[in-house]
């Protein structure tokens, strides 16, 4: 998979946003729900690219199951990409907005309807980049493992039958320690998306299962 992917490969982006918000307080849509503390990171590495660098416009709705510590939550979310604007909407169990995250070019705007994030909103988009854009150039790659070092990270991709099966990130300086891994059920290729994506972010301590309910090209 190349570093610049078709926009459709962003299908799971809003999942990451919803999960990280969940770690803060998505469940505060119920007045008695407890608030989680700040994420255990003083900073979180990553870079942004302009949405317009990735061709194609779309609207996606997804169902997500998130694990953060002992908490397990399932909820829906919506992602739209149109031109140079990427919009992530997290939904409460009642179908109302929990938050709205908009990236226009390299500018990021966050609006919360149930509370505040305990970290900069751009952290959400950094994970979007890793899962759907920050791959090894030259896709499709030969079967087997491929390794590249870039921007302080070691990227390992596993390919099978012309499809990306898994991707792993580690920080070369061990800051933060651990591994961020993504598994694409059945593999992912341009124009061929997996029904299920599993994310295990050892840097932050969350796990996420993504199922896409609907996809509309704009």
Could you report the per-residue pLDDT of 49-69, keeping only the tens digit for each?
888 887 678 787 888 787 877
Domain-located, residue 190: yes
What pLDDT score was predicted for residue 43? 67
Which CATH number goes with the domain that contains 162?
2.50.20
Residue carrying the six token digits 């809003």: 14
What pLDDT score was predicted for residue 60? 78
What pLDDT score was predicted for residue 103? 94
Number of domains in the chain: 1
User: What's the rounded Cα separation, in Å, for the pair 55 and 28?
Assistant: 36
User: What's the rounded Cα separation, in Å, for the pair 190 and 54?
Assistant: 12
Domain-located, residue 1: no
Q: How do beta strands 153-160 and 163-171 pair?
A: antiparallel
User: What's the rounded Cα separation, in Å, for the pair 145 and 165?
Assistant: 10
Instruction: Answer yes or no: are the C-beta atoms of 56 and 215 closer than 8 Å.
Output: no
Q: Which residues have CB under 8 Å from 31's CB, separation 6+?
A: none
Domain-located, residue 89: yes
Q: Tokens in use for 103?
A: 């990236």
What pLDDT score was predicted for residue 158? 97
Q: Mark the ranges of the chain whose per-residue pLDDT is less than 70.
A: 1-43, 55, 115-119, 191-192
Residues in a beta bridge with 103: 86, 108
Domain-located, residue 136: yes
What pLDDT score was predicted for residue 117? 64
| Cα four-point dihedral sign 92, 28, 180, 209 | negative
Domain-located, residue 2: no
What pLDDT score was predicted for residue 144? 97
Task: Please give the model's pTM, rounded to 2 decimal places.
Answer: 0.75
What pLDDT score was predicted for residue 192? 66
What pLDDT score was predicted for residue 49? 86
């Amino acid at each position: 998979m190349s570093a610049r992917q078709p926009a459709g490969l962003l299908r799971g982006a809003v999942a990451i946003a919803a999960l990280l918000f969940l770690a803060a307080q998505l469940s505060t849509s119920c007045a008695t729900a407890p608030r989680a503390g700040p994420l255990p990171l003083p900073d979180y590495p990553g870079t942004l690219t302009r949405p317009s660098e990735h061709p194609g416009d779309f609207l996606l709705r997804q169902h997500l199951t998130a694990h953060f510590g002992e908490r397990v939550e399932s909820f829906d979310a919506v992602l739209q990409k149109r031109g140079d604007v990427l919009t992530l909407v997290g939904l409460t169990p009642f179908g109302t907005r929990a938050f709205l995250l908009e990236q226009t070019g390299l500018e990021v705007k966050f609006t919360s309807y149930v509370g505040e994030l305990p970290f900069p909103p751009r952290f959400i988009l950094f994970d979007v980049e890793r899962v759907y854009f920050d791959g090894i150039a030259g896709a499709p790659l030969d079967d087997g493992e491929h390794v590249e070092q870039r921007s302080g990270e070691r990227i390992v991709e596993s390919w099978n039958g012309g499809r990306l099966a898994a991707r792993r990130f580690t920080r070369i300086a061990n800051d933060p320690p651990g591994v961020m891994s993504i598994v694409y059920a059945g593999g992912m290729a341009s124009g061929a998306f997996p029904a299920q994506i599993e994310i295990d972010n050892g840097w932050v301590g969350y796990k996420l299962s993504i199922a896409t309910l609907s996809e509309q090209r704009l």
